[in-house]
Amino acid sequence: MAAILIVDDDEAIRDTLYDLFSEGHLCHVAETAEQALVWLAEDTYDVVLTDISMPGISGVELLGHVRQQQPYTPVIIISGIGDEEHARGMLKLGAYACLVKPFRSEEVEERVEGAIKQRRLWLSGQDQPA
């Protein structure tokens, strides 16, 4: 069972992601990046799923905080921007993956499972975060 932090200001997306993962994983949700930072100060996560555009601190800024506080925690960015260059930029900033809204449940599940496996490799010393 992995610990997943879901961060999105859209309640429907938060609920969808929570419903998708809560049966098999421990899930925490946050409406804002500020709330997510509180969770991150208290717990370690196997994966963080975050929207990119939120009021206050953005998902990009949250990505930076996670990379500093929990460097072995993969971050999956969820964006409404379907531009390939935008996605490459997120990956260069250290995101594990970038998903475009609307996303398919199968795609999110696949990325989250891959991120959990990647974290295990990082923690075992077989690989290092970029």
Average pLDDT on 82-94 reads 79
Average pLDDT on 2-27 reads 96
Query: What is the band of 82 on the pLDDT scale with cuts at 50, 70, 90?
Result: low
- The domain that holds 118 is classified in CATH as 3.40.50.2300
What domain count does the chain have? 1
Q: Which residue from 17, 2, 85, 88 is spatially nearest to 47, judged by alpha carbons? A: 2
Q: Calculate what percentage of the chain has a pLDDT beyond 90.
A: 77
C-alpha to C-alpha distance for 122 and 11, rounded to whole angstroms:
32
In a domain, 92, yes or no: yes
In a domain, 31, yes or no: no
In a domain, 90, yes or no: yes
In a domain, 20, yes or no: no
Q: Which residue has the tokens 């990956």?
A: 91
Q: How many CB atoms lie within 10 A of CB 72?
A: 17
In a domain, 1, yes or no: no
Average pLDDT on 73-99 reads 85
Residue 63, sorted as left (phi over 0), alpha (psi -120 to 50) or beta, turns out to be alpha
Residues spanned by the domain of 81: 51-124
Tell me the three state secondary structure of residue 7: strand
In a domain, 65, yes or no: yes
Q: Which of 3-7, 25-29, 117-121 shows the lowest per-residue confidence on average (mean pLDDT)?
A: 117-121
In a domain, 111, yes or no: yes
Average pLDDT on 52-65 reads 93
For residues 53, 51, 56 and 45, what is the CA-based torsion angle, rounded to 10 degrees? -160
In a domain, 118, yes or no: yes
pTM: 0.93
What are the phi and psi torsion angles at 122 (to 5°)? Answer: -60, -45
